[in-house]
Structure 1
Amino acid sequence: MNMLLMQAGYPSAIIRKEDRGVYINALEKGQTGGALDEYYLVVYEAVDRSLNIYLETVEPERIPRPTLNTDRRIYTTEEVAKLLQVDPESVRRYVRSGQLKAVRLGGKFIRIDKDDLNQFIERLKSK
């Protein structure tokens, strides 16, 4: 995978130790005929993290260290909870009830797309 990424001009995807289980589950699901969306999501986040590490090494003064990156397109439950100023369990309830779309990465791990989050917020505002 990393060779293909680097041949296309991307940095290698560094899968963190705490993300290995999610990565392996997504990979197995994709290889057994399931959707590759979860796998792509895990790799996207790993490449994004790797790119930030490389850029910080080259030009540390140009890379800000925000506590929450609002320019990202994919959020964790905890990040959405911070943005909405609610408990992470409330976010999980929104997802379970179908009010907020999310991608399940295996087990309790979910990720929420920025566009889906914005649609959810707009629906809340219109009520």
Structure 2
Amino acid sequence: MAGLGMKELAFDTRRDNLPESVVMDKEAKGLMLTPPYINNGILEPMAIGIDIDSKFNGNNGTSPNASDVAELINMIKLLVNCNADMLKALSTGEVNDDVCTTIIGASQVPIGTVLIY
């Protein structure tokens, strides 16, 4: 159970409605993992693996027609309040580092990107 602290354990048990003993056992067997988010202090712990609730992704991003950072932050808050476990950045417009840093800093859940095909 390397890396899983009591705070994360308690959060995982509440979020996924599992007894602590189940989370600890699954973590120890490698069937469940709670990645540490060492570079972002506001991310919520999130277990990934067997016997946990379904996860859902929320999508957000900018486009050439709409790239208001305040609107993106409001969308992040809305998606998190609707229990999004992860966000996908689907920006098609030009996005600078300041916008990305602001968006990442405003999110309590991880943000990933989607490759453009």
TM-score scaled by length of structure 1: 0.28
More helix by share: 1
